[in-house]
Each structure stands twice: as structure tokens, then as C-alpha cells.
Amino acid sequence: MAERAGAAEAAAGARAAPMRWWGWGEEGRAPGLSAGMLELLRERVGVSERPRPPVALANVRLGEPGLTAATAGRLRGIVGGEHVREDHFDRVVHAAGKGYPDLVRVRAGEPEGAPDAVLYPGDHEQVRGVLEECVRAGVAVVPFGGGTSVVGGVAPLRGEHGSVVALDLSRLDALHGLDLESLIVRVGAGLRVRALERRLRQRGLTLGHFPQSYEHVAVGGCAATRSAGQASTGYGRFEDMVLGLRLAAPAGDLVVRAVPASAAGPSLRELVVGSEGTLGVISELELRVREAPERRAFEGAFFGDFAAGVAALRVLAQEGSAPAVTRLSDEGETRLSLAAVGSGEGLAGLKRRLGSLYLGARGYGSGCLAIFGFEGSDAEIERRRGRVAEVVAAHGGLGVGSSPGEAWAKQRFSSPYLRDELLTHGVMVETLETAVRWSGLTGLHRSVAGAIEGALNAQGTPGLVMCHVSHVYETGASLYFTVLARQREGREIEQWEAVKRAAGEAILGGGGGTITHHHAIGRDHV
Amino acid sequence: MAERAGAAEAAAGARAAPMRWWGWGEEGRAPGLSAGMLELLRERVGVSERPRPPVALANVRLGEPGLTAATAGRLRGIVGGEHVREDHFDRVVHAAGKGYPDLVRVRAGEPEGAPDAVLYPGDHEQVRGVLEECVRAGVAVVPFGGGTSVVGGVAPLRGEHGSVVALDLSRLDALHGLDLESLIVRVGAGLRVRALERRLRQRGLTLGHFPQSYEHVAVGGCAATRSAGQASTGYGRFEDMVLGLRLAAPAGDLVVRAVPASAAGPSLRELVVGSEGTLGVISELELRVREAPERRAFEGAFFGDFAAGVAALRVLAQEGSAPAVTRLSDEGETRLSLAAVGSGEGLAGLKRRLGSLYLGARGYGSGCLAIFGFEGSDAEIERRRGRVAEVVAAHGGLGVGSSPGEAWAKQRFSSPYLRDELLTHGVMVETLETAVRWSGLTGLHRSVAGAIEGALNAQGTPGLVMCHVSHVYETGASLYFTVLARQREGREIEQWEAVKRAAGEAILGGGGGTITHHHAIGRDHV
């Protein structure tokens, strides 16, 4: 049952190309800001008077590549001469991930650092060989999958090492085997999620993992960072999909063999999943897949306010009827989404389209948009859609048909492109996520938003803070904040740090022990 | 919304009593072996000619209690004088768990060891105080919850320590708080699962955790050992229910605050859950609860053979329609279950009751019994039951109504009592569990059963090996083996070790990397 990536797909042309060195995604695909959005930004945030494009590639300043000839030679012996690259382009592409400070620095031609060389190993043994050689030679190694990290995950930090190399895993893109009976696929860690999904669809299967970075992220990166996708309510987080893995580490290999996920006892798998590359390099994964759904359908709903929408989502999550995509924007994000979709018409026009009579009659001066994405057979979709409609109505919500959901689905992977556009307009964009139990959700929403607004005001750059819920659980949900503000030119990083600090303190401080951010650990008495 | 255990329930009478020192459960509740089962045992296993009851309590041999007067005094200062017990009864009760070798030794009056004292701390601070004092004094500490371990989890091993104490957590039985909005309960680690379930039912809620040890196990023990209940297909394993915890450790405290389970990033929680007491003592837990279902209903089905039943379970698990209880016995277990239920009539009588005409017409000389337990509203149960019936029929199975499921539900917590009866009849009983992907399931079933049968034959005690599937996942399922054989009198432990070794080797060796047991870790190159 094993199948190997076809020759055509594995050829250089089909192998995933690196993203634009100064931003997200592919050349020639840059959705601009809509007129409505620009209008809203001018009014509420402020934009730069002259465009702030990235510098020319040649003007990105890097240090001299610092690998010794002997080390470079030995590394060539391991991965092959053409797979050790020390040229300017390769080093720039691997100099940073796609976080806000990464982009600010790279666009200015001043990355924090760059790898001395980029290595492209072709298999697990080469990965281990590289790690062994680098330990011997005192060279730091940074694993690089899709390069989509937004939290500095691929920063080429030398630490106390004399030099640093990026380990680009894009050649580890094989589909090693597919167990159709157990629905388990074995793949190389460098395989892109989108490429895997396409292969699976040909067999009527799906992985069901659709993070915002879907078009570029590699499976190994998803495992190393416990990635959550937009359909996580239906498919679970990426860690729920990882059944087995192979890790190359300087001290040797670790193999976790695939067992039905929840039946495995202790947690070496858990330690590796989420280790962010600190323990070793994941070279191979065994992942759970599913039958692809027959059909998908979207349904939008408008709630009078965020609390009403949250209450509806809570009921759905706790009774087990939340659909695969379950998403609720707060008032601020709803306003911006409507502005972004419309062509200059803004909220008023959208409300017209959504049926302003109804909205007006209900007194929704503003309101919150929810999007539900259903999957399955017609009968299953109908049954679930019916129950969601009941719960929405019981919370004063109003069904607004399929168009908002379809619009969202169409552009759901393009937000990172918008970020590039915003940077060119001199606008800071940052996002941050937390999770909270239901009883603390609206309180935390208010306190974090307030803290960020306070920090922006203190920086002299009042802006927009908005939020959505996109992952719901029986006991609580995620909150995903987006912050937009006029950049403080020349002091972008300082401004960004102030926002991050304020948000982090609000998250940790809020709710008296019921709230936490991703690292949910406190130590009282160590 | 917080509520505390009522005074009445917290009184000494209501506090969970220890189990019978020589076996399972409560005095005065010992379901005997049915005539049908005794007949089958005589025929296939052999029983002892004279009963082999446990020795008298006074004849259990323990060493002198070895705590120094100074240490005992300091421990009394921490937990109170009446909560440090060095008497014969308390030491015997805490000398062992309920595994087969534990019972063999204790019944013979020769436990492997016993704690020098039993401590009953009353709160988290006392637990930490005891740990600090014991570290200072070089005393080993064994946490003791319900005392239900069947894998030597509470053995009072001194190691290199001069003495050892059992830390009985039964006084930590408070219900500290109930967050009705988030459906999270905060409880002391010593609270028994059954007591918690009763409290929750009064509020229309359920924990949904029903391991075989349900009537006696404490929540802390479930967390420390990653317990799986009989309804795990619907409710998940215990680790899925743990949102937060408080751990007292010699080096200090660790607090993991409750967040919606799957949203928490890294895995300190995962490390503690499953740590089996090696990192510290869990004193408090935050657990997910659910609305109690309106109704429960059972449905039995007969399959022509194990493979057909497994294929049906696979379809149900992979399409998401497996009910909360999903259970399939192999031919051997089916035969024994029918014999155990019937009063002397054996398989023939049961087949008559189940409709022998149908079974005969289908040619089911033997066959495999599946039990499905549905929960929810009438409409939900009907919908799910209809789908299960379709899948059963598509795999040649035959619905046999609700009686087998109801019979199973009635006695599902009493198997440990039967084990005591079997020991009195000179019959060894051991159980062991593994998990395997679907594509390797029937192969592993055969190879493990064969290995155990081989080991029994080599010991000169051919017996019965049977198995069931009770936890199904999308990618695979659990296999739970039960072994019955005539005891080798005087060499019981040797005989038991031979069986465990053969089974373990078969599990590790089987299936070429697709199969594993609970500790799914291999190391290639360390």
C-alpha cells in the first residue's frame, strides 16, 4: 500500500519553492487592500504618506559566511555538494521566519542574523549526519520547514556557537506509505501540508489541517509547534493527528511507533510534539487521516454582541454539535471584515446586503459575525445546520446565509499577504492567541483588549484591537487577537514589544487562576 | 458556585473504607462463580480440590514498624497524632495493591513488604509537609489512593531508604468547586470516582469515567496512571478529562491551571498525568464534566467471528458513529461470558435464549458477542442505534437485543470479586492490555494469544486465553487479554512471570513496527 511521491511532483519544479524573502507567499499573488479597508484604516489607524516597500535584495546586509572550509567540506560530504548553499539569496531566505519583527527587520535590509550556510539533507540519515558533524564542529543548527514561524522559531541564533546553519527539510517530502485500513499516512517532515492534502484528496482522504499558513507550512513544523487549524473543532489540533514520529538527535534517534493516539501511555511523544526543535529534528511523521467529507457548507450568523455569540458557541461545544469550523468575531473584527470584503461600501453597504431591515429592527448598531462550516453527507449537514440554527435563534442571533462564510473561506489563507500590504502602508500588525475557560472568556477578552489599547495609547499610536474565537472545546475556547496600529517609524520593535508585554501581563494576571496562555504553568514554591 | 462536601458525607462513616485486605471490594458482597462457569473451568482449566482461602489477618507476617520515634513524632506534628497509624491492620491494608502477585502473596500471609506507618494527611499543605519531612529523614513515600493498582503501583518499596510510609489520600476527598458555565469541577485527589459521580448526578452532570475499579478508585490514581474507562469511546480516557492539577513535590509545588484541554501548549501536564507518583503527589485535580445523558440503552450483536466484528467496529470508529460503550469479545471470552451469565446451562442454553434458530441457521458454531451502549436523548439514541444496526448487518452480524448488554452492565464492576473466588479455587487470573492499529489487530490478537498459550503449556498448566476490544479509535483499538489457568501451587509467581514475559515479547515483536504496547518507545542509536 506504500506509495512514493511521483517523479513529476518530486522534480525541482514541483518541490515547494521558498516564500518571498521579504514577506509571505508567492510572487504575483498579492491581494491589495480594499478601498473600504483603506478608508477604515485612514480613519481609525492612520497610514504612511509614502509607501514603505522592502529594500532591494542586494541591499540586505549579511555578515561574511563563517563556516570553516573543513566543516563545509565535511557537510558537503554528507548531503552532497549542491545541497550546501552559502549564497546571498539562500542565506536571506533563511534569515528569519514571518513574525512581525522578522519582517520589519528583513524589509529594512537588517535581519538580526543569517545562517552561514543552508543545508538541504535528502533523508533521515543525512539529517543525523549533519547533526553529528555540527555537534563535533560546534555549529548551531536551526531546523527550517516551511519557514512560516511567526514567533521567531527559525531565527538563526548562534548562541555560544561560532557559526550557525539552517537545516532546510524541503527535500524530505516523500509520502512513504498509506495504511488505508488504519487511516495512517507516513510522510517526510518537509512535506508541505497543502501538497499532502492534495495527494490525500486523490484517494478520497483528508488530513483536515488548515492553519492560516496552510499553503506553505510543512508537516514537521506543525508537529514541532502543536499547530491548530481552522477546522480544529472538527479535526482536532495537529498534535491529535500525530501517531508516530522519527526524531534525529545529536545523541541518537528516537522512534515513536504509531499507536492509536489516545491509547499510548506515557508521553515521550508528547514531549517531542511541541518541543520546537530543541530536542532534535523530526524527520518523519505518521499522521491520522480521514475520509474526505462528501460536501461542505457554510452558514453565517449575526449576534447582537460578543457575549451572546459566545453563549451560543458554548452551548454548541458542550452538547457536541459545534461544526468543524466554528468561528465568532467580536465587534471590532466584524467591522473590519465587512470593510475588507466590501468594495468601498463599508459596514453600511454590507448591512444592506445582509438585510439591514432585520438588523435595524433588532437594534444591531454593530454586531458580531459568526461563521459555521459544516461537513459530511447532505443529511448530516442538514441535521447539524438545523441544530445550529436553533441555538443561534435562542441567543437572539440571525442567520445571514452562506455568503459571509464563503467569502471567509475564499480568503482564509490570504491574511498574511494583507500583512505585507499593511507594512507597505506603514501599519503594524500583530496577532496573539490564548485559551480560556468559558466562565472567564468575556472578562479576559475585555481585559486583554483594554491592556493592548492602553499600550498603544501610551506609544502615541492608538489603533484597532480585534478578536475572534476559532477553537471551541467543552470547557472553554481560544481567543485570537489582532492588533493594527500606525508604525512608529524607526522604533517599530520597541512599539511591538510594548504591545506584547501588555497583552502577556493581562493574560497572566486575568481571572484569578482560571486563565492562562499557551504555557499554562505556574510555580509557587520552587 | 463552589460547594463543599456536606458534613454528613465527609463524616468518618461516609469516607471511603479500605477494601478487604486480602482481595477486592466490600465484605458481604461476593458474587460466587456460577455453576456454568465452574463447569467450564473444571473442563478446560482445572480447579483445586480443596479451597485455598486467605490466611487469617493475624497470621500475615510483617516486619517490626521501623520509623524512628523522632520521625514518627515529627510526622504526627504535621498530620495530627491520630493520622499516623502503625497498627497491624493499617499496615496490611497498605501492603499491596490488587494485582495477581499482590493477592497471591497477601493471601498467603507473605506480602513483599509493608509500610512502617500509614499517614492520612488532611490537605495539600500536610502532603507537602510530609514529603519534606520524609526527604529530610530518608523515608520513602508511596502515595495510596483507592489502592486499586493491578500493576504493583502501590508496593511499599524501600529502595535505598531505611523505612517507607504509605501516604493515604482518602481524607483529601473534598469537592472544592464546580464551574457550571465551563463544566469544570475541582476536587481533592483522594475523592473516589464513584462518590464524585454521585455528587455530580445530583446536579444533572456526569464525569463519565467507569473503569472496572470504578467503585473504589480515587481520582488522583486515575490521573497518575492514565486510566481508561468502559465508556472511553464516548468520554475519552481520564487524561482527556484532566484540565488542571496541583502536585506536591519534595522540591516544591507545581500548579497547572485549568485551560480548555487541547488548547494548552506544552506538556508539563502531560508529564504529570501518567507519572505514577514518581514526580510528586497529586493533591488536587480540575476535571471536565458533562451534562448527564437523558437515557442509556444497550444493544447486543453476534458476529460469525472476531475478524468480522473488528471490521464492523473499525467502520463505526472511523465514521464517528461508535457509541459511548463499544465492546467486542473474541470467541473465547464470548463462550466464558455466556457460561458466567447462565446458571449451569452453558453456551447451548444461552444460544437458546438469544435465538438459536437464527444463530444455527447462520452457522455460528461459536461466535463473538459485541455490546453497544448508547447515550443521549431518545432521538439521538434511535439515530445512532439505527446506524450501528446497519453496520452490524453489513458485516454479517445479528442483533440480539438489549439483554446481553444489560447483563454486562449489571456485573461490569464485579469481575475483581470473581478473581478472588477464582483464587480460592486455585485458578490464576491475569489481564493485560495493548493498543494496535486496525491493520495489525487480528494478527496481534493471534500472536499474543498463541504466545500466552505456549507459555501456559510449557508450565504444564494449559488454560484459557480470551480477549476483548473495549476502546476504539479512528486508527486502531485496544486489546484486553484475560488469562485463566490452574495455579502451580507454591510456584504461582514463577508461572505468572512466564505468562507476562511471553505476552510482552509477542506484543513488542509483532507486526514490524506497526504495533506497540503502552510504552511505545524504541531507541535505535543511543
| Comparison of pLDDT for B8 and B347, the residue scoring more | B347
- Alpha-carbon span A165 to A84, nearest angstrom: 10
Q: From the CA atom positions of chain A, what is the Rg in Å?
A: 24
Nearest chain A Cα distance for residue B291, angstroms: 8
To the question of pTM greater than 0.90 for the whole model, the response is no
- In this prediction, residues A32-57 reach a mean pLDDT of 88
Mean pLDDT for chain B overall: 83
Nearest chain A Cα distance for residue B265, angstroms: 5
Residue-level pLDDT at A491: 94
A478 CB neighbours in chain B (<8 A) are: 260, 263
Give me the residue from B244, B258, B523 closest to A254, CB to CB: B523
Residue-level pLDDT at B518: 29
- Alpha-carbon span B471 to B232, nearest angstrom: 6
Range A119-138 burial, b when 16+ CB lie within 10 A, else e? bbbeebebbbbbbbbbeebe
**Hey, which of A21-35, A365-379, B260-274, B457-471 has the most confident mean pLDDT?**
B457-471
B264 pLDDT band, cuts 50/70/90, is very low
A154 pLDDT band, cuts 50/70/90, is low
Residue-level pLDDT at A417: 85
Give me the residue from B179, B232, B475 closest to A183, CB to CB: B475
* Cell numbers representing residue A307 in the block: 457575549
Share of chain B above pLDDT 90, in %: 54
Nearest chain A Cα distance for residue B270, angstroms: 6
* Cell numbers representing residue B495 in the block: 508461572
Residue-level pLDDT at A39: 87
In the predicted structure, residue B356 carries a pLDDT above the cut 70: no
* Residue contact A271–B271, C-beta within 8 A: yes
In the predicted structure, residue B67 carries a pLDDT above the cut 80: yes
> Looking at chain A, which residue has its C-alpha nearest residue B517?
A264
* Residue contact A519–B265, C-beta within 8 A: yes
Nearest chain A Cα distance for residue B246, angstroms: 10
- In this prediction, residues A386-396 reach a mean pLDDT of 96
Give me the residue from B182, B253, B524 closest to A439, CB to CB: B182
CB atoms inside a 10 Å sphere around CB B149: 23
Of residues B20, B83, B82, B26, the one with CA closest to residue B57: B20
- A242, A474, A480, A524: best mutation site toward chain B, by most B Cβ within 10 Å? A474
Do A254 and A269 contact (CB within 8 A), yes or no?
Answer: no
In the predicted structure, residue A415 carries a pLDDT above the cut 90: no
Distance of CA A29 to the CA centre of its chain: 19
In the predicted structure, residue B275 carries a pLDDT above the cut 80: no
In the predicted structure, residue B19 carries a pLDDT above the cut 80: yes
B287 CB neighbours in chain A (<8 A) are: none
Give me the residue from A181, A438, A474 closest to B438, CB to CB: A181
Residue-level pLDDT at B295: 93
B526 CB neighbours in chain A (<8 A) are: 251-252
- In this prediction, residues A83-87 reach a mean pLDDT of 95
| Comparison of pLDDT for B228 and A471, the residue scoring more | A471
Of residues B157, B16, B162, B139, the one with CA closest to residue B75: B139
Mean pLDDT for chain A overall: 83
Inter-chain CB pairs, A–B, below 8 Å? 225
Residue-level pLDDT at A167: 93
B255 CB neighbours in chain A (<8 A) are: 521-524
Residue-level pLDDT at A150: 64
Of residues B21, B158, B16, B157, the one with CA closest to residue B89: B21
* Residue contact A274–B291, C-beta within 8 A: no
Give me the residue from B181, B262, B520 closest to A438, CB to CB: B181
**A362: buried, middle or exposed (CB in 10 Å: 19+, 13-18, 0-12)?**
middle
Q: What are the strands of the beta sheet with B117-119, ordered from one edge? A: B84-85, B117-119, B163-168, B139-144
Of residues A444, A419, A425, the one with CA closest to residue A434: A444
In the predicted structure, residue B156 carries a pLDDT above the cut 80: no
Q: What is the pLDDT of residues B462-499, one digit of tens each?
A: 999 999 998 999 999 999 999 999 999 999 999 999 99
In the predicted structure, residue A8 carries a pLDDT above the cut 80: no
Give B326's contacts (C-beta < 8 A, 6+ positions apart): B233, B313, B316, B317, B370, B372, B373, B469, B470, B472
* Residue contact B254–A513, C-beta within 8 A: no
Residue-level pLDDT at B476: 93
In the predicted structure, residue A259 carries a pLDDT above the cut 80: no
Among the residue ranges A159-168, A302-311, B89-98, B123-132, the one predicted with the least confidence is A159-168
B461 pLDDT band, cuts 50/70/90, is very high
Distance of CA A287 to the CA centre of its chain: 19
B474 CB neighbours in chain A (<8 A) are: 183, 260, 288, 290
- A207, A241, A437: best mutation site toward chain B, by most B Cβ within 10 Å? A437
- In this prediction, residues A260-274 reach a mean pLDDT of 47
B262 pLDDT band, cuts 50/70/90, is very low
* Residue contact A260–B478, C-beta within 8 A: yes
Nearest chain B Cα distance for residue A126, angstroms: 15
In the predicted structure, residue B381 carries a pLDDT above the cut 90: yes
Residue-level pLDDT at B223: 82
Residue-level pLDDT at B517: 28
* Residue contact A262–B473, C-beta within 8 A: yes
Q: What is the pLDDT of residues A342-387, one digit of tens each?
A: 543 444 555 555 544 344 444 455 789 999 999 999 999 999 999 9
Give me the residue from B179, B244, B471 closest to A263, CB to CB: B471
Among the residue ranges A69-78, A87-96, A270-279, the one predicted with the least confidence is A270-279
Residue-level pLDDT at B433: 87
* Residue contact A274–B261, C-beta within 8 A: no
> Looking at chain B, which residue has its C-alpha nearest residue A273?
B266
**Hey, which of A173-187, A499-513, B86-100, B341-355 has the most confident mean pLDDT?**
A173-187
Give me the residue from A236, A255, A474 closest to B522, CB to CB: A255
A470 pLDDT band, cuts 50/70/90, is confident
Do B354 and B275 contact (CB within 8 A), yes or no?
Answer: no
In the predicted structure, residue B76 carries a pLDDT above the cut 50: yes
Residue-level pLDDT at B513: 33
Give me the residue from A183, A319, A435 closest to B263, CB to CB: A435
Give me the residue from A239, A256, A437 closest to B521, CB to CB: A256
One-letter identity of residue A140:
A
* Residue contact B262–A291, C-beta within 8 A: no
- In this prediction, residues B48-72 reach a mean pLDDT of 92
A181 CB neighbours in chain B (<8 A) are: 314, 437-439
Share of chain A above pLDDT 90, in %: 54
Q: What is the pLDDT of residues B200-252, one digit of tens each?
A: 999 999 999 998 888 888 998 888 766 777 778 788 888 888 888 898 887 77
- A239, A262, A276: best mutation site toward chain B, by most B Cβ within 10 Å? A262
A311 pLDDT band, cuts 50/70/90, is very high
- A135, A259, A270: best mutation site toward chain B, by most B Cβ within 10 Å? A259
A236 pLDDT band, cuts 50/70/90, is confident
Residue-level pLDDT at B450: 96
- DSSP type of residue A190: T
* Residue contact B474–A436, C-beta within 8 A: no
Helices (H) and strands (E) in chain A, counts: 19, 20
- In this prediction, residues A314-323 reach a mean pLDDT of 94
A253 CB neighbours in chain B (<8 A) are: 523-525
Q: What is the pLDDT of residues A188-227, one digit of tens each?
A: 999 999 999 999 999 999 999 998 888 888 998 888 766 6
- Alpha-carbon span A471 to A479, nearest angstrom: 8
Q: What is the pLDDT of residues B398-441, one digit of tens each?
A: 998 888 888 888 888 888 888 899 999 999 999 988 889 999 99
- Alpha-carbon span B493 to B484, nearest angstrom: 14
| Comparison of pLDDT for A174 and A215, the residue scoring more | A174
